[in-house]
A and B are shown apart, each in its own frame.
Chain A
Amino acid sequence: GQNIDQPTEMTATEGAIVQINCTYQTSGFNGLFWYQQHAGEAPTFLSYNVLDGLEEKGRFSSFLSRSKGYSYLLLKELQMKDSASYLCAVKDSNYQLIWGAGTKLIIKP
């Protein structure tokens, strides 16, 4: 079966750096997405990786290793507004998105 694994919950301190990992086993691979979802709100797009390596976008970076079935989202200079769930999703060989259950990130002052 297809599977996306992420930690259920993480806690970090305001101003610090946090890395949220995502491992996947899917039938084929056509890209990996990260979305942010604040409580009670809709998911919003953060990043897309289809080739190995690091994609940087402001305070957020996303890394992909296709050979390891692994990605991480790196958040720098954490702010209280970064408290949210972070969803990892992989597009499989049929171009269907397979979603992880999400990682709830709690930021403490």
Chain B
Amino acid sequence: IAGITQAPTSQILAAGRRMTLRCTQDMRHNAMYWYRQDLGLGLRLIHYSNTAGTTGKGEVPDGYSVSRANTDDFPLTLASAVPSQTSVYFCASSDSAPGEGGELFFGEGSRLTVL
């Protein structure tokens, strides 16, 4: 059982380059999320999608975009990377509606370094 798969696991990127982090889940969960995790800070929500075809902005959406063409895939794109986007990125999914409890299932993370 794969759960959530993220790629790449690690990447070093030159500033100004475009980068897409891939996220695929095989659990048929409706809701998917992208978080970034930085030392000393809590997980911060970048973008989310409650169901295929819809997306929403989280706490720190600037410089990032997402799409949700189908249930399984939720890629995150950095149009023009900047050093402040150096972080560990986690994709997550949930099978509950936003108003329900609903634990999150996380991918293994993508460590991105922007130079």
**Most chain-B CB neighbours within 10 Å: which of A31, A41, A99?**
A99
**A contact residues around B45 at 8 Å (CB):** 96-97
The reply to whether A100 and B42 form a contact with Cβ atoms under 8 Å apart is: yes
A102 to B27, CA, bound (A): 27
The 8 Å CB contact of B109, one of A42, A45, A95, is: A42
> Contact between B58 and A101 (Cβ–Cβ < 8 Å)?
no
Interface residues on chain A, number (Cβ under 8 Å): 22
> Smallest distance from the beta carbon of B7 to chain A beta carbons, Å?
14
A99-B42 contact, Cβ under 8 Å, with A31-B101, A45-B103: yes
Q: Check B98–A101 contact: CB distance below 8 A.
A: no
Interfacial residues, chain A to chain B (CB-CB below 8 A): 4, 30-31, 33, 35, 41-45, 48, 50, 87, 89, 95-102
